[in-house]
Amino acid sequence: MWQLYQFPICPFSRKVRLVLGEKGVGYELVRESPWTRRDEFVDMNPAGQTPVMVDAGRGVVLIDSQAIVEYFEETVDKAVTINGTAAGRAEIRRLTSWFDMQFYRDVTGPLLHERLIKRIAHRVTPDARALREAMKGAVGHLDYTDYLLDHRQWLGGATMSLADLTAAAHISVADYLGGIDWKGHEQTARWYRGLKSRPSFRPLLAERMELVGPPSHYDNPDF
Amino acid sequence: MWQLYQFPICPFSRKVRLVLGEKGVGYELVRESPWTRRDEFVDMNPAGQTPVMVDAGRGVVLIDSQAIVEYFEETVDKAVTINGTAAGRAEIRRLTSWFDMQFYRDVTGPLLHERLIKRIAHRVTPDARALREAMKGAVGHLDYTDYLLDHRQWLGGATMSLADLTAAAHISVADYLGGIDWKGHEQTARWYRGLKSRPSFRPLLAERMELVGPPSHYDNPDF
């Protein structure tokens, strides 16, 4: 049985969980708070980050959300999430990297730092300017997803792909942390409502972090 | 014919060039300085980053170094750089991400900012403390590659892989910018000497940035 080391609003763990959910791969959750830098966890993953997946029976340890996703793409045929032509797959990987790098740098990373880690680990209040910057960043990124969805049915092309799952993972964490203003982003909101109602997504929306709760619209599929 | 938008000491472009060199894929270099945020370039890649590869004849645009590498892994059989079992490939992708994310965050990114972009774009002197931090970061990372090479022939396992090419790409840029102290890192130095003498690597070592030159040992394969 796979074990997945994660915390409820880790965007990279959510990306992996959505892929595992679509593919029907079973796993057990292990709660890990990477900001505590627990020795046994850092020994396992020197980068000190979630997600990590472990199959103790077979001695397999998988680290890094993209390496994990590529592993399950290679080993599980069901629900291919990096699909289409080679150029189409490159576009899916480009957008996946966009959310994991740019959106994380501008939005999810600062929100997690200000609203979660400062609260839980340092017990200080968030910096209002950093929060405003992150929310402004989110507006820019959602302008881009609106633009993509004006031209395509899904973010990466004609079918649902890893680009959508990764984007939804990050956006759901930003939404949990109150960083998304949905006004003026009707295309992205419609696409996100569709993803929220998928069986792979629902369990994630039901989970809560200690001390930090989401706004009331967060888990409503028809917000 | 592929065109590759890059500048001589972009670590992500070097990673792609090493893979293309190993695979024998031909391409033409197009010089791009991403810090100028040239309109036509940002229109092509909204992330504004090198490398970008374009095959104008077929209308294919590839963005993001990992998406580009995976594209050529999928379309060119020669010199597979993500090789071995599924778990082995996951380990190669973990280390590739390690260098693209952690090493870049700690070492290559700060060195490029302090020594290249500040000089060329802002015409200000580098911050001595940031440089010291980057060089200290490099020591920590080379301790890790020493450790890996104590246990394995190559970074990712028994054969040369994308992990080695990516690590060498980043280390070569850090070395160009004077950020690597080779003393005390004999395993990594020996491994790096081997990579420097490969036909895929030699053209990169001959190239120079305007205004910013490398230390004298930089392109010596027997330093």
pLDDT of residue B90: 98
pLDDT of residue A189: 97
Give A-chain residues touching B47 at CB under 8 angstroms. 98, 101-102
Pick B97's closest partner by Cβ from A67, A93, A98.
A67
The closest alpha carbon to A198, from A142, A154, A158, A157, belongs to A154
User: H-type helices in chain B, by residue range?
Assistant: 11-23, 39-44, 65-75, 86-97, 109-111, 128-151, 162-176, 186-196, 202-206
Q: Return the H-helix or E-strand segment holding A27.
A: strand A27-31
The closest alpha carbon to A134, from A106, A112, A97, belongs to A106
Whole-Å CA distances, A35 to A42, A49, A104, A116: 11, 8, 16, 10
User: What is the largest distance, in Å, between two alpha-carbon atoms of chain B?
Assistant: 49
3-state secondary structure of A4: strand
Pick the CATH number of B2-75 from 3.30.200.20, 3.40.30.10, 3.40.1280.10, 1.20.1440.230: 3.40.30.10
**Given the structure tokens 């045929």, which residue do they identify?**
A77
Give A-chain residues touching B43 at CB under 8 angstroms. none
Residues of B with CB under 8 A from a CB of A: 46-47, 60, 62-64, 66-68, 70-71, 74-75, 86-87, 89-91, 93-94, 97-98, 101-102, 144
Chain A closest-CA separation from residue B215 CA (Å) = 30
pLDDT of residue B220: 84
What the block records as the tokens of A132 is: 């405003």
Q: Which residues of chain B form CATH 3.40.30.10?
A: 2-75
The closest alpha carbon to B61, from B5, B134, B9, belongs to B5
Contact predicate A34/A8, CB 8 Å: no
User: Cα separation of B147 and B155, whole Å?
Assistant: 10
- Measure CA A81 to chain center: 15
Closest alpha carbon within chain A to B75: A86
Phi-psi region of A157 (alpha: psi -120 to 50; beta: other; left: phi over 0): left
3-state secondary structure of A124: coil
Amino acid at B52: V
Q: Describe the strand order of the beta sheet including A27-31 as a list of residue ranges.
A: A27-31, A2-6, A52-55, A60-63
Contacts of A160 (CB under 8 A, 6+ apart): A81, A154
**What sign has the CA pseudo-torsion A29, A35, A39, A44?**
positive
pLDDT of residue A221: 77
Q: Which tens digits make up the pLDDT trace of A51-89?
A: 999 999 999 999 999 999 999 999 999 999 999 999 999
Angle between helix A162-176 and A11-23 (nearest 10): 130
Give B-chain residues touching A94 at CB under 8 angstroms. 62-64, 67
Amino acid at B201: F
Residues of A with CB under 8 A from a CB of B: 46-47, 60, 62-64, 66-68, 70-71, 74-75, 86-87, 89-91, 93-94, 97-98, 101-102, 144
> What is the residue-averaged pLDDT of chain A?
96
The closest alpha carbon to B6, from B67, B74, B65, belongs to B65
A82 burial via Cβ count (<10 Å: 0-12, 13-18, 19+): buried
pLDDT of residue A222: 75
Residue B54 has pLDDT above 80, yes or no: yes
Q: Which tens digits make up the pLDDT trace of B155-212?
A: 999 999 999 999 999 999 999 999 999 999 999 999 999 999 999 999 999 999 999 9
Residue by residue, what is the 3-state secondary structure of B160-212?
CCHHHHHHHHHHHHHHHCCCCCCCCCHHHHHHHHHHHCCCCCHHHHHCCCCCC
3-state secondary structure of A3: strand
Pick A66's closest partner by Cβ from B86, B93, B144.
B93
What the block records as the tokens of A11 is: 């965007």
B124 burial via Cβ count (<10 Å: 0-12, 13-18, 19+): exposed
Closest alpha carbon within chain A to B100: A101
Q: Which tens digits make up the pLDDT trace of B89-133?
A: 999 999 999 999 999 999 999 999 999 999 999 899 999 999 999
CATH tag, B86-206: 1.20.1050.10
Q: Which residues of A195-219 are buried (b: 16+ CB within 10 A; e: fewer)?
A: bbebebbeebbeeebeebebeeebb
Pick B98's closest partner by Cβ from A47, A75, A89.
A47
The whole-number average pLDDT for the span A155-181 is 97
Q: Which tens digits make up the pLDDT trace of B199-213?
A: 999 999 999 999 999
Q: Which tens digits make up the pLDDT trace of A2-13?
A: 999 999 999 999
pLDDT of residue B72: 98
Pick B75's closest partner by Cβ from A47, A70, A86.
A86
Give A-chain residues touching B146 at CB under 8 angstroms. none
Q: What whole-number percentage of chain B has pLDDT above 90?
A: 96
Mutate to test the interface with A, among B15, B58, B61, B66 (most CBs of A within 10 A): B66
Give bridge partners of residue A52 from the DSSP assignment.
Answer: A5, A63
What the block records as the tokens of A80 is: 């291919």
The whole-number average pLDDT for the span B44-52 is 97
Q: What are phi and psi of A31, to 5 degrees?
A: -75, 125
pLDDT of residue B209: 95
Mutate to test the interface with A, among B52, B63, B95, B106 (most CBs of A within 10 A): B63
Chain B closest-CA separation from residue A76 CA (Å) = 11
User: Cα separation of B205 and B190, whole Å?
Assistant: 17
Q: Which residues of chain B form CATH 1.20.1050.10?
A: 86-206
CA-based end-to-end distance of chain A: 36
Q: What is the DSSP letter of B34?
A: G
User: What is the largest distance, in Å, between two alpha-carbon atoms of chain A?
Assistant: 49
